[in-house]
Structure 1
Protein backbone atom coordinates (compact mmCIF):
# COMPACT_ATOMS: atom_id res chain seq x y z
CA UNK A 1 0.00 0.00 0.00
CA UNK A 2 1.17 3.50 -0.80
CA UNK A 3 1.52 5.58 2.42
CA UNK A 4 -0.37 8.57 1.04
CA UNK A 5 0.00 11.98 2.67
CA UNK A 6 -3.05 14.19 2.19
CA UNK A 7 -3.20 16.60 5.13
CA UNK A 8 -2.22 20.15 4.22
CA UNK A 9 -2.90 23.49 5.88
CA UNK A 10 -3.27 26.52 3.62
CA UNK A 11 -5.55 29.33 2.47
CA UNK A 12 -6.16 29.95 -1.20
CA UNK A 13 -4.13 32.92 -2.37
CA UNK A 14 -2.02 33.15 0.80
CA UNK A 15 1.76 32.88 0.60
CA UNK A 16 3.11 30.37 3.11
CA UNK A 17 6.75 29.91 4.07
CA UNK A 18 7.01 26.11 4.00
CA UNK A 19 10.80 25.78 4.39
CA UNK A 20 13.74 28.16 4.80
CA UNK A 21 14.00 28.65 1.02
CA UNK A 22 10.50 27.77 -0.20
CA UNK A 23 7.20 29.64 -0.25
CA UNK A 24 3.94 28.27 -1.67
CA UNK A 25 0.79 29.88 -3.06
CA UNK A 26 -2.11 27.52 -3.83
CA UNK A 27 -4.52 28.27 -6.67
CA UNK A 28 -8.24 27.81 -6.13
CA UNK A 29 -8.64 25.07 -8.76
CA UNK A 30 -9.49 21.89 -6.82
CA UNK A 31 -10.61 18.82 -8.75
CA UNK A 32 -10.14 15.08 -9.27
CA UNK A 33 -6.81 15.65 -11.05
CA UNK A 34 -5.58 18.68 -9.07
CA UNK A 35 -6.57 17.59 -5.55
CA UNK A 36 -6.98 20.83 -3.53
CA UNK A 37 -5.33 23.02 -6.17
CA UNK A 38 -2.07 23.88 -7.89
CA UNK A 39 0.76 24.77 -5.52
CA UNK A 40 3.05 27.37 -7.09
CA UNK A 41 6.47 27.49 -5.43
CA UNK A 42 8.68 30.55 -4.94
CA UNK A 43 12.34 29.78 -4.28
CA UNK A 44 14.63 32.17 -2.43
CA UNK A 45 14.31 35.79 -1.37
CA UNK A 46 14.98 38.96 -3.29
CA UNK A 47 15.97 37.24 -6.52
CA UNK A 48 13.67 34.26 -6.88
CA UNK A 49 12.56 31.42 -9.12
CA UNK A 50 8.90 30.48 -9.59
CA UNK A 51 8.00 26.82 -10.24
CA UNK A 52 4.71 25.91 -11.97
CA UNK A 53 2.89 29.26 -12.18
CA UNK A 54 -0.36 27.31 -12.58
CA UNK A 55 -3.67 27.81 -14.37
CA UNK A 56 -4.56 31.04 -16.15
CA UNK A 57 -6.60 32.48 -13.28
CA UNK A 58 -6.49 36.25 -12.65
CA UNK A 59 -6.87 35.83 -8.88
CA UNK A 60 -3.92 33.42 -8.75
CA UNK A 61 -1.77 35.83 -10.76
CA UNK A 62 -2.72 38.62 -8.35
CA UNK A 63 -1.81 36.43 -5.37
CA UNK A 64 1.57 35.59 -6.89
CA UNK A 65 2.34 39.22 -7.69
CA UNK A 66 1.44 40.20 -4.13
CA UNK A 67 3.77 37.52 -2.78
CA UNK A 68 6.54 38.69 -5.11
CA UNK A 69 6.20 42.40 -4.42
CA UNK A 70 9.60 44.07 -4.16
CA UNK A 71 11.42 41.01 -5.51
CA UNK A 72 12.91 40.09 -8.88
CA UNK A 73 11.80 36.92 -10.62
CA UNK A 74 14.86 35.54 -12.41
CA UNK A 75 13.42 32.23 -13.66
CA UNK A 76 9.97 30.83 -14.39
CA UNK A 77 10.28 27.03 -14.34
CA UNK A 78 7.56 24.70 -15.65
CA UNK A 79 7.41 20.96 -14.95
CA UNK A 80 5.10 20.17 -17.90
CA UNK A 81 2.41 21.53 -20.19
CA UNK A 82 -0.86 20.58 -18.48
CA UNK A 83 -3.37 23.38 -18.00
CA UNK A 84 -3.04 23.35 -14.22
CA UNK A 85 0.73 23.96 -14.42
CA UNK A 86 1.87 26.10 -17.35
CA UNK A 87 -0.71 28.61 -18.73
CA UNK A 88 0.05 31.36 -16.22
CA UNK A 89 3.72 31.38 -17.25
CA UNK A 90 3.23 33.98 -20.01
CA UNK A 91 1.05 36.35 -17.96
CA UNK A 92 3.59 36.13 -15.13
CA UNK A 93 6.39 36.81 -17.60
CA UNK A 94 4.55 39.88 -18.90
CA UNK A 95 4.49 41.24 -15.34
CA UNK A 96 8.03 40.27 -14.33
CA UNK A 97 10.14 39.99 -17.49
CA UNK A 98 11.58 36.63 -16.43
CA UNK A 99 12.39 33.94 -18.99
CA UNK A 100 10.39 30.72 -19.07
CA UNK A 101 12.26 27.41 -18.84
CA UNK A 102 10.78 24.02 -19.63
CA UNK A 103 10.49 21.33 -22.26
CA UNK A 104 8.55 22.10 -25.43
CA UNK A 105 5.38 20.15 -26.17
CA UNK A 106 5.82 17.17 -28.49
CA UNK A 107 3.47 16.78 -31.46
CA UNK A 108 1.90 13.66 -29.98
CA UNK A 109 0.71 15.66 -26.99
CA UNK A 110 -1.97 17.15 -29.21
CA UNK A 111 -3.82 13.86 -29.72
CA UNK A 112 -7.39 14.68 -28.70
CA UNK A 113 -7.85 11.18 -27.31
CA UNK A 114 -5.53 11.89 -24.38
CA UNK A 115 -7.24 15.02 -23.07
CA UNK A 116 -8.07 14.54 -19.40
CA UNK A 117 -9.88 16.92 -17.09
CA UNK A 118 -6.60 18.69 -16.44
CA UNK A 119 -6.11 19.12 -20.19
CA UNK A 120 -3.12 20.06 -22.32
CA UNK A 121 -1.72 23.58 -22.71
CA UNK A 122 -0.81 23.10 -26.36
CA UNK A 123 0.35 26.73 -26.60
CA UNK A 124 3.11 26.15 -24.05
CA UNK A 125 6.45 27.12 -25.55
CA UNK A 126 9.35 27.89 -23.19
CA UNK A 127 11.86 30.59 -24.00
CA UNK A 128 14.67 28.16 -23.16
CA UNK A 129 14.33 24.43 -23.76
CA UNK A 130 15.70 22.15 -21.01
CA UNK A 131 14.30 18.81 -22.21
CA UNK A 132 17.48 16.83 -21.59
CA UNK A 133 17.80 17.89 -17.96
CA UNK A 134 21.06 18.95 -16.34
CA UNK A 135 20.46 22.70 -16.55
CA UNK A 136 21.36 24.58 -13.37
CA UNK A 137 19.71 27.79 -12.14
CA UNK A 138 21.16 29.90 -9.35
CA UNK A 139 20.17 32.79 -7.13
CA UNK A 140 21.22 34.21 -3.76
CA UNK A 141 21.47 31.15 -1.49
CA UNK A 142 19.69 28.71 -3.83
CA UNK A 143 20.60 26.32 -6.63
CA UNK A 144 18.11 24.39 -8.76
CA UNK A 145 18.87 21.56 -11.18
CA UNK A 146 16.52 20.36 -13.93
CA UNK A 147 16.01 16.59 -14.01
CA UNK A 148 14.31 15.07 -17.06
CA UNK A 149 11.53 12.74 -15.84
CA UNK A 150 9.43 11.74 -18.86
CA UNK A 151 6.53 9.40 -18.28
CA UNK A 152 3.52 11.35 -16.97
CA UNK A 153 4.12 13.43 -20.08
CA UNK A 154 6.92 13.26 -22.62
CA UNK A 155 8.17 16.69 -21.53
CA UNK A 156 8.03 16.34 -17.73
CA UNK A 157 10.86 17.99 -15.78
CA UNK A 158 11.50 17.91 -12.02
CA UNK A 159 13.66 20.48 -10.22
CA UNK A 160 16.10 19.66 -7.42
CA UNK A 161 16.90 22.27 -4.74
CA UNK A 162 20.49 21.53 -3.74
CA UNK A 163 20.53 23.42 -0.44
CA UNK A 164 17.61 21.43 1.02
CA UNK A 165 18.15 18.15 -0.89
CA UNK A 166 14.56 18.59 -2.05
CA UNK A 167 12.79 17.79 -5.30
CA UNK A 168 9.91 19.67 -6.87
CA UNK A 169 8.29 16.62 -8.38
CA UNK A 170 5.45 18.18 -10.37
CA UNK A 171 3.03 15.36 -11.20
CA UNK A 172 5.75 12.71 -11.45
CA UNK A 173 5.29 11.76 -7.78
CA UNK A 174 2.37 13.06 -5.71
CA UNK A 175 1.66 12.40 -2.07
CA UNK A 176 -2.13 12.31 -2.37
CA UNK A 177 -2.51 9.99 -5.37
CA UNK A 178 -0.81 7.98 -8.06
CA UNK A 179 0.03 9.64 -11.36
CA UNK A 180 -1.90 9.26 -14.62
CA UNK A 181 0.29 7.93 -17.44
CA UNK A 182 -1.79 8.49 -20.57
CA UNK A 183 -0.45 7.42 -23.98
CA UNK A 184 0.59 8.55 -26.48
CA UNK A 185 2.20 11.47 -24.62
CA UNK A 186 2.48 9.46 -21.41
CA UNK A 187 4.79 6.46 -21.49
CA UNK A 188 4.84 3.75 -18.82
CA UNK A 189 8.30 2.47 -19.75
CA UNK A 190 9.77 5.96 -19.43
CA UNK A 191 7.76 6.59 -16.26
CA UNK A 192 9.19 3.58 -14.45
CA UNK A 193 12.71 4.54 -15.55
CA UNK A 194 12.13 8.06 -14.21
CA UNK A 195 10.95 6.71 -10.86
CA UNK A 196 14.19 4.74 -10.60
CA UNK A 197 16.17 7.87 -11.50
CA UNK A 198 14.56 9.94 -8.74
CA UNK A 199 14.88 7.14 -6.19
CA UNK A 200 18.62 6.87 -6.90
CA UNK A 201 19.15 10.55 -6.04
CA UNK A 202 18.21 10.05 -2.39
CA UNK A 203 16.19 13.22 -1.82
CA UNK A 204 15.12 14.12 1.72
CA UNK A 205 11.78 15.64 0.71
CA UNK A 206 9.49 15.86 -2.33
CA UNK A 207 7.35 18.92 -3.05
CA UNK A 208 4.62 17.89 -5.53
CA UNK A 209 2.65 20.58 -7.34
CA UNK A 210 -0.54 19.23 -5.75
CA UNK A 211 -0.93 18.44 -2.08
CA UNK A 212 1.51 18.23 0.85
CA UNK A 213 5.19 17.26 0.75
CA UNK A 214 6.44 13.69 0.96
CA UNK A 215 8.97 13.50 3.79
CA UNK A 216 9.69 9.76 4.01
CA UNK A 217 10.90 9.64 0.44
CA UNK A 218 12.59 6.28 -0.20
CA UNK A 219 9.77 4.08 1.17
CA UNK A 220 7.21 6.22 -0.63
CA UNK A 221 8.91 5.83 -4.02
CA UNK A 222 9.37 2.11 -3.39
CA UNK A 223 5.64 1.85 -2.70
CA UNK A 224 4.89 3.85 -5.85
CA UNK A 225 6.99 1.41 -7.89
CA UNK A 226 5.45 -1.61 -6.15
CA UNK A 227 1.97 -0.26 -6.90
CA UNK A 228 2.74 -0.07 -10.62
CA UNK A 229 4.16 -3.59 -10.61
CA UNK A 230 1.09 -4.83 -8.72
CA UNK A 231 -1.17 -3.14 -11.27
CA UNK A 232 0.81 -4.84 -14.02
CA UNK A 233 0.26 -8.17 -12.28
CA UNK A 234 -3.47 -7.45 -12.08
CA UNK A 235 -3.55 -6.72 -15.80
CA UNK A 236 -1.76 -9.98 -16.53
CA UNK A 237 -4.20 -11.89 -14.30
CA UNK A 238 -7.16 -10.29 -16.07
CA UNK A 239 -5.70 -11.42 -19.38
CA UNK A 240 -5.14 -14.92 -18.01
CA UNK A 241 -8.80 -14.95 -16.91
CA UNK A 242 -9.89 -14.19 -20.47
CA UNK A 243 -10.53 -10.44 -20.22
CA UNK A 244 -8.77 -9.18 -23.32
CA UNK A 245 -10.12 -5.63 -23.51
CA UNK A 246 -9.18 -2.74 -21.26
CA UNK A 247 -12.75 -1.53 -20.70
CA UNK A 248 -13.65 -4.90 -19.20
CA UNK A 249 -10.81 -4.68 -16.66
CA UNK A 250 -11.39 -1.18 -15.26
CA UNK A 251 -14.39 -1.80 -12.92
CA UNK A 252 -12.42 -4.50 -11.11
CA UNK A 253 -8.93 -3.01 -11.25
CA UNK A 254 -10.12 0.44 -10.13
CA UNK A 255 -13.10 -0.45 -7.94
CA UNK A 256 -11.73 1.75 -5.13
CA UNK A 257 -11.17 4.78 -7.37
CA UNK A 258 -13.58 7.66 -8.07
CA UNK A 259 -15.47 6.70 -11.25
CA UNK A 260 -14.73 10.14 -12.67
CA UNK A 261 -11.13 8.94 -12.93
CA UNK A 262 -11.93 5.70 -14.76
CA UNK A 263 -11.34 7.16 -18.25
CA UNK A 264 -7.89 8.31 -17.10
CA UNK A 265 -7.35 4.93 -15.39
CA UNK A 266 -8.11 3.19 -18.68
CA UNK A 267 -5.36 5.20 -20.30
CA UNK A 268 -2.93 4.16 -17.57
CA UNK A 269 -3.83 0.53 -18.24
CA UNK A 270 -3.16 1.23 -21.92
CA UNK A 271 0.26 2.49 -20.82
CA UNK A 272 0.86 -0.86 -19.11
CA UNK A 273 -0.32 -2.72 -22.22
CA UNK A 274 2.04 -0.82 -24.49
CA UNK A 275 4.91 -1.53 -22.11
CA UNK A 276 3.99 -5.23 -21.90
CA UNK A 277 3.75 -5.51 -25.68
CA UNK A 278 7.19 -3.88 -26.01
CA UNK A 279 8.59 -6.44 -23.60
CA UNK A 280 7.02 -9.34 -25.49
CA UNK A 281 4.82 -10.43 -22.57
CA UNK A 282 1.51 -9.47 -24.22
CA UNK A 283 0.47 -9.50 -27.88
CA UNK A 284 -2.28 -7.86 -29.90
CA UNK A 285 -3.37 -8.21 -33.50
CA UNK A 286 -3.95 -4.45 -33.77
CA UNK A 287 -1.36 -2.47 -35.78
CA UNK A 288 -0.79 -0.35 -32.67
CA UNK A 289 -1.97 -1.09 -29.10
CA UNK A 290 -5.08 0.96 -28.35
CA UNK A 291 -7.93 1.31 -25.87
CA UNK A 292 -10.23 -0.89 -27.95
CA UNK A 293 -7.65 -3.48 -28.98
CA UNK A 294 -7.92 -7.14 -28.01
CA UNK A 295 -4.95 -8.38 -25.96
CA UNK A 296 -3.72 -11.78 -24.90
CA UNK A 297 -0.71 -13.25 -23.16
CA UNK A 298 2.18 -14.14 -25.44
CA UNK A 299 2.77 -17.83 -26.04
Structure 2
Protein backbone atom coordinates (compact mmCIF):
# COMPACT_ATOMS: atom_id res chain seq x y z
CA UNK A 1 0.00 0.00 0.00
CA UNK A 2 1.86 3.01 -1.30
CA UNK A 3 1.88 6.44 0.33
CA UNK A 4 3.93 8.02 -2.48
CA UNK A 5 4.37 6.71 -5.99
CA UNK A 6 8.05 7.38 -6.69
CA UNK A 7 11.45 7.80 -5.10
CA UNK A 8 12.57 11.34 -6.03
CA UNK A 9 15.60 11.41 -8.29
CA UNK A 10 15.67 7.65 -8.79
CA UNK A 11 15.05 5.62 -11.96
CA UNK A 12 11.65 4.01 -12.45
CA UNK A 13 12.10 0.26 -13.08
CA UNK A 14 8.97 -1.77 -13.62
CA UNK A 15 7.62 -4.59 -11.51
CA UNK A 16 8.84 -8.06 -12.37
CA UNK A 17 6.55 -10.80 -13.70
CA UNK A 18 8.67 -13.93 -13.77
CA UNK A 19 11.91 -15.13 -12.15
CA UNK A 20 13.55 -12.66 -9.78
CA UNK A 21 16.17 -14.78 -7.98
CA UNK A 22 17.22 -18.41 -8.20
CA UNK A 23 14.41 -19.38 -5.80
CA UNK A 24 11.80 -16.66 -6.26
CA UNK A 25 9.36 -16.08 -9.12
CA UNK A 26 6.78 -13.30 -9.22
CA UNK A 27 3.28 -13.60 -10.62
CA UNK A 28 1.92 -10.07 -10.90
CA UNK A 29 -1.74 -9.67 -9.97
CA UNK A 30 -3.90 -7.57 -12.32
CA UNK A 31 -4.88 -5.00 -9.69
CA UNK A 32 -2.84 -1.89 -10.55
CA UNK A 33 -3.59 1.41 -8.83
CA UNK A 34 -1.85 4.37 -7.24
CA UNK A 35 -1.91 2.41 -3.98
CA UNK A 36 -0.76 -0.96 -5.37
CA UNK A 37 1.58 0.32 -8.11
CA UNK A 38 1.57 -2.24 -10.98
CA UNK A 39 -0.34 -4.68 -8.79
CA UNK A 40 0.31 -7.16 -6.00
CA UNK A 41 3.41 -9.34 -6.29
CA UNK A 42 2.53 -12.97 -5.57
CA UNK A 43 5.74 -14.86 -4.87
CA UNK A 44 6.44 -18.51 -5.70
CA UNK A 45 9.42 -19.84 -3.75
CA UNK A 46 11.22 -23.15 -4.30
CA UNK A 47 14.62 -24.75 -4.39
CA UNK A 48 15.80 -25.16 -8.00
CA UNK A 49 15.27 -28.94 -8.16
CA UNK A 50 12.51 -29.30 -5.56
CA UNK A 51 9.03 -30.64 -6.18
CA UNK A 52 7.44 -28.49 -3.48
CA UNK A 53 6.81 -24.75 -3.61
CA UNK A 54 5.73 -22.08 -1.13
CA UNK A 55 3.44 -19.26 -2.25
CA UNK A 56 3.56 -15.93 -0.43
CA UNK A 57 0.58 -13.55 -0.74
CA UNK A 58 -1.82 -15.16 -3.23
CA UNK A 59 -3.26 -11.70 -3.80
CA UNK A 60 -6.81 -10.41 -4.21
CA UNK A 61 -9.93 -12.41 -4.94
CA UNK A 62 -9.27 -12.87 -8.65
CA UNK A 63 -9.91 -16.36 -9.98
CA UNK A 64 -7.82 -15.93 -13.12
CA UNK A 65 -4.83 -14.70 -11.12
CA UNK A 66 -5.07 -17.48 -8.54
CA UNK A 67 -5.26 -20.10 -11.28
CA UNK A 68 -2.33 -18.50 -13.09
CA UNK A 69 -0.25 -18.88 -9.91
CA UNK A 70 -1.17 -22.57 -9.70
CA UNK A 71 -0.39 -23.08 -13.40
CA UNK A 72 3.00 -21.36 -13.03
CA UNK A 73 3.89 -23.73 -10.22
CA UNK A 74 2.71 -26.78 -12.16
CA UNK A 75 4.57 -25.80 -15.35
CA UNK A 76 7.77 -25.94 -13.31
CA UNK A 77 6.93 -29.54 -12.33
CA UNK A 78 6.02 -28.61 -8.78
CA UNK A 79 3.03 -28.44 -6.48
CA UNK A 80 2.14 -25.88 -3.84
CA UNK A 81 2.81 -27.21 -0.34
CA UNK A 82 2.23 -24.11 1.77
CA UNK A 83 0.76 -20.61 1.56
CA UNK A 84 2.14 -17.73 3.65
CA UNK A 85 0.81 -14.21 4.23
CA UNK A 86 2.87 -11.10 4.90
CA UNK A 87 -0.23 -9.37 6.33
CA UNK A 88 -3.99 -9.31 6.08
CA UNK A 89 -4.77 -6.52 3.61
CA UNK A 90 -7.14 -7.73 0.92
CA UNK A 91 -4.80 -7.06 -1.99
CA UNK A 92 -2.41 -9.61 -0.45
CA UNK A 93 -4.63 -12.00 1.47
CA UNK A 94 -8.12 -11.65 0.01
CA UNK A 95 -7.68 -14.64 -2.30
CA UNK A 96 -5.98 -16.88 0.28
CA UNK A 97 -9.04 -18.97 1.17
CA UNK A 98 -9.87 -19.65 -2.48
CA UNK A 99 -6.20 -20.38 -3.21
CA UNK A 100 -6.21 -22.91 -0.37
CA UNK A 101 -9.22 -24.59 -1.99
CA UNK A 102 -7.44 -24.76 -5.35
CA UNK A 103 -4.23 -26.19 -3.91
CA UNK A 104 -5.32 -28.02 -0.76
CA UNK A 105 -2.68 -26.17 1.24
CA UNK A 106 -2.72 -24.67 4.72
CA UNK A 107 -2.41 -20.90 5.05
CA UNK A 108 -0.04 -19.62 7.70
CA UNK A 109 -0.14 -16.05 9.00
CA UNK A 110 0.55 -14.09 12.16
CA UNK A 111 -3.13 -13.16 12.58
CA UNK A 112 -5.11 -16.24 13.70
CA UNK A 113 -8.15 -14.99 11.78
CA UNK A 114 -6.26 -15.44 8.51
CA UNK A 115 -4.96 -18.95 9.15
CA UNK A 116 -6.30 -22.09 7.51
CA UNK A 117 -4.79 -24.98 9.42
CA UNK A 118 -3.30 -25.50 12.85
CA UNK A 119 -0.03 -23.57 12.51
CA UNK A 120 0.55 -19.86 12.66
CA UNK A 121 3.69 -17.81 12.23
CA UNK A 122 5.82 -16.05 14.79
CA UNK A 123 9.13 -14.30 15.32
CA UNK A 124 12.09 -16.59 14.90
CA UNK A 125 10.18 -19.36 13.10
CA UNK A 126 12.13 -21.17 10.41
CA UNK A 127 10.12 -22.74 7.62
CA UNK A 128 11.67 -25.57 5.65
CA UNK A 129 9.73 -26.87 2.67
CA UNK A 130 11.30 -28.91 -0.11
CA UNK A 131 14.73 -27.95 1.19
CA UNK A 132 13.92 -24.24 1.06
CA UNK A 133 14.77 -22.32 4.23
CA UNK A 134 12.69 -19.26 5.11
CA UNK A 135 13.13 -17.25 8.28
CA UNK A 136 10.17 -15.32 9.67
CA UNK A 137 11.07 -11.71 10.46
CA UNK A 138 8.50 -9.67 12.43
CA UNK A 139 8.10 -6.28 10.77
CA UNK A 140 5.03 -4.60 12.30
CA UNK A 141 4.26 -0.97 11.60
CA UNK A 142 2.53 -0.88 8.24
CA UNK A 143 0.06 -3.14 10.04
CA UNK A 144 0.33 -4.87 13.40
CA UNK A 145 0.46 -8.29 11.72
CA UNK A 146 3.12 -7.50 9.09
CA UNK A 147 5.83 -10.11 8.55
CA UNK A 148 8.81 -10.42 6.23
CA UNK A 149 10.41 -13.65 5.02
CA UNK A 150 14.15 -14.07 4.58
CA UNK A 151 15.25 -16.45 1.81
CA UNK A 152 18.56 -17.49 3.31
CA UNK A 153 20.14 -19.03 0.21
CA UNK A 154 19.27 -16.07 -2.03
CA UNK A 155 20.34 -13.40 0.50
CA UNK A 156 16.93 -11.89 -0.15
CA UNK A 157 13.95 -10.78 1.92
CA UNK A 158 10.26 -10.60 1.02
CA UNK A 159 8.95 -7.45 2.66
CA UNK A 160 5.24 -7.32 1.82
CA UNK A 161 4.25 -3.67 2.22
CA UNK A 162 6.98 -2.81 4.73
CA UNK A 163 9.36 -1.81 1.92
CA UNK A 164 7.98 -1.30 -1.58
CA UNK A 165 9.81 -1.50 -4.88
CA UNK A 166 8.95 2.12 -5.63
CA UNK A 167 7.74 4.97 -3.46
CA UNK A 168 7.11 4.74 0.26
CA UNK A 169 4.57 2.81 2.27
CA UNK A 170 1.68 3.77 4.50
CA UNK A 171 1.77 3.43 8.27
CA UNK A 172 -1.86 2.32 8.34
CA UNK A 173 -3.13 4.05 11.50
CA UNK A 174 -4.58 3.00 13.89
CA UNK A 175 -3.45 -0.59 13.33
CA UNK A 176 -0.05 0.57 12.10
CA UNK A 177 2.25 2.37 14.52
CA UNK A 178 5.23 4.52 13.58
CA UNK A 179 7.44 3.39 16.47
CA UNK A 180 6.94 -0.23 15.44
CA UNK A 181 7.59 0.65 11.82
CA UNK A 182 10.89 2.37 12.58
CA UNK A 183 11.98 -0.63 14.65
CA UNK A 184 11.07 -2.90 11.74
CA UNK A 185 13.13 -0.88 9.29
CA UNK A 186 16.10 -1.10 11.65
CA UNK A 187 15.54 -4.85 11.93
CA UNK A 188 15.61 -5.16 8.15
CA UNK A 189 18.75 -3.05 7.98
CA UNK A 190 20.45 -5.38 10.45
CA UNK A 191 19.74 -8.25 8.02
CA UNK A 192 21.68 -6.38 5.35
CA UNK A 193 24.63 -5.90 7.70
CA UNK A 194 24.66 -9.12 9.74
CA UNK A 195 23.24 -11.63 7.24
CA UNK A 196 24.37 -10.11 3.95
CA UNK A 197 20.84 -9.64 2.60
CA UNK A 198 21.13 -7.60 -0.59
CA UNK A 199 17.82 -8.08 -2.42
CA UNK A 200 14.34 -6.88 -1.50
CA UNK A 201 11.39 -8.76 -3.01
CA UNK A 202 8.54 -6.34 -2.25
CA UNK A 203 4.78 -6.78 -2.17
CA UNK A 204 4.40 -4.15 -4.91
CA UNK A 205 6.76 -2.73 -7.49
CA UNK A 206 10.13 -3.87 -8.84
CA UNK A 207 12.82 -5.92 -7.11
CA UNK A 208 15.41 -3.82 -5.27
CA UNK A 209 18.99 -5.05 -5.64
CA UNK A 210 20.41 -2.66 -3.02
CA UNK A 211 18.54 -3.67 0.12
CA UNK A 212 20.62 -1.56 2.46
CA UNK A 213 20.27 1.52 0.29
CA UNK A 214 16.50 1.04 0.11
CA UNK A 215 16.11 0.67 3.88
CA UNK A 216 18.40 3.64 4.51
CA UNK A 217 16.25 5.72 2.16
CA UNK A 218 13.12 4.71 4.07
CA UNK A 219 14.69 5.60 7.41
CA UNK A 220 15.77 9.03 6.15
CA UNK A 221 12.39 9.62 4.52
CA UNK A 222 10.53 8.78 7.74
CA UNK A 223 12.80 11.02 9.82
CA UNK A 224 12.28 13.90 7.38
CA UNK A 225 8.50 13.47 7.28
CA UNK A 226 8.33 13.28 11.06
CA UNK A 227 10.32 16.50 11.36
CA UNK A 228 8.02 18.16 8.81
CA UNK A 229 4.91 17.10 10.73
CA UNK A 230 6.40 18.34 14.00
CA UNK A 231 7.23 21.69 12.40
CA UNK A 232 3.76 21.93 10.89
CA UNK A 233 2.18 21.48 14.32
CA UNK A 234 4.50 24.13 15.77
CA UNK A 235 3.38 26.48 12.98
CA UNK A 236 -0.28 26.07 13.84
CA UNK A 237 -1.48 23.24 11.60
CA UNK A 238 -3.70 21.14 13.81
CA UNK A 239 -5.77 18.56 11.99
CA UNK A 240 -4.35 15.63 10.00
CA UNK A 241 -6.07 16.99 6.88
CA UNK A 242 -4.38 20.38 7.28
CA UNK A 243 -1.01 18.76 7.89
CA UNK A 244 -1.30 16.52 4.83
CA UNK A 245 -2.12 19.48 2.59
CA UNK A 246 0.95 21.29 3.92
CA UNK A 247 3.52 18.50 4.26
CA UNK A 248 2.46 16.33 1.29
CA UNK A 249 1.87 19.17 -1.15
CA UNK A 250 4.39 17.55 -3.53
CA UNK A 251 2.46 14.25 -3.61
CA UNK A 252 -0.41 13.30 -5.92
CA UNK A 253 -3.66 14.30 -4.19
CA UNK A 254 -5.10 10.88 -4.98
CA UNK A 255 -2.86 9.36 -2.29
CA UNK A 256 -3.56 12.05 0.34
CA UNK A 257 -6.06 9.79 2.16
CA UNK A 258 -3.28 7.21 2.58
CA UNK A 259 -0.84 9.93 3.61
CA UNK A 260 -3.35 11.04 6.25
CA UNK A 261 -3.12 7.61 7.87
CA UNK A 262 0.64 8.05 8.14
CA UNK A 263 0.21 11.58 9.53
CA UNK A 264 -2.13 10.27 12.22
CA UNK A 265 0.49 7.67 13.12
CA UNK A 266 3.17 10.36 13.21
CA UNK A 267 1.06 12.58 15.46
CA UNK A 268 0.52 9.65 17.85
CA UNK A 269 4.28 9.05 17.88
CA UNK A 270 5.05 12.70 18.61
CA UNK A 271 2.50 12.78 21.44
CA UNK A 272 3.83 9.56 22.95
CA UNK A 273 7.31 11.08 23.02
CA UNK A 274 6.13 14.42 24.39
CA UNK A 275 7.15 16.33 21.27
CA UNK A 276 3.81 17.99 20.56
TM over 0.5: yes
Of residues 181, 189, 202 in structure 1, which corresponds to 2:179?
A: 189
CA deviations on 1:11-67 (whole Å, 9 max, x unpaired) are: 6xxxx2222111111111001111001111111142110011100101101211211
Question: Is the contact between residue 149 and residue 158 of structure 2 (CA under 8 Å) also seen in structure 1?
Answer: yes
1:6 CA displacement = 3.5
CA deviations on 1:124-183 (whole Å, 9 max, x unpaired) are: 3343221x3211111334211111111000000100000011000000001211110121
Q: How many residues align?
A: 260
Residue in 1 that maps onto 2:4: none
Q: TM-score scaled to structure 2, two decimals?
A: 0.89
Over the aligned positions, Cα root-mean-square deviation in angstroms equals 1.7
Q: Specify whether residues 10 and 54 from structure 1 end up closer, same or farther in structure 2 by C-alpha distance, changes over 3 A only.
A: same
Task: Could you tell me which runs of 5 or more consecutive residues in structure 1 were left unpaired when the two chains were aligned.
Answer: 106-122, 283-299
CA deviations on 1:58-91 (whole Å, 9 max, x unpaired) are: 1101211211224221210100000110122111
Stretch deviating more after TM superposition (204-213 or 61-70)? 61-70
Residue in 2 that maps onto 1:119: none
Task: Could you tell me which runs of 5 or more consecutive residues in structure 2 were left unpaired when the two chains were aligned.
Answer: 1-6
**Which has the larger helix fraction?**
2
Distance between the aligned counterparts of 1:83 and 1:3, measured in 2? 31
Q: How does 1:83-98 map to 2 (within 5 A)?
A: 83-98=90-105
1:2 CA displacement = 5.9
Q: TM-score scaled to structure 1, two decimals?
A: 0.82
- Which structure has more relative contact order (CA 8 Å, sep 6+)? It is 2
Q: How does 1:7-26 map to 2 (within 5 A)?
A: 7-8=13-14, 16-26=18-28
State the SS of the aligned residue for 2:91.
coil
Residue in 2 that maps onto 1:129: 120
1:222 CA displacement = 1.1
Residue in 2 that maps onto 1:292: none
Residue in 1 that maps onto 2:200: 206
Q: How does 1:126-165 map to 2 (within 5 A)?
A: 126-127=116-117, 128-130=119-121, 132-165=122-155
Question: Is the contact between residue 2 and residue 224 of structure 1 (CA under 8 Å) also seen in structure 2?
Answer: no
State the SS of the aligned residue for 1:42.
strand
Residue in 2 that maps onto 1:244: 238
Of residues 48, 51, 55 in structure 2, which corresponds to 1:46?
A: 51
Larger radius of gyration: 1
1:245 CA displacement = 2.0
State the SS of the aligned residue for 1:24.
strand
Q: Specify whether residues 23 and 187 from structure 1 end up closer, same or farther in structure 2 by C-alpha distance, changes over 3 A only.
A: same
State the SS of the aligned residue for 2:245.
helix
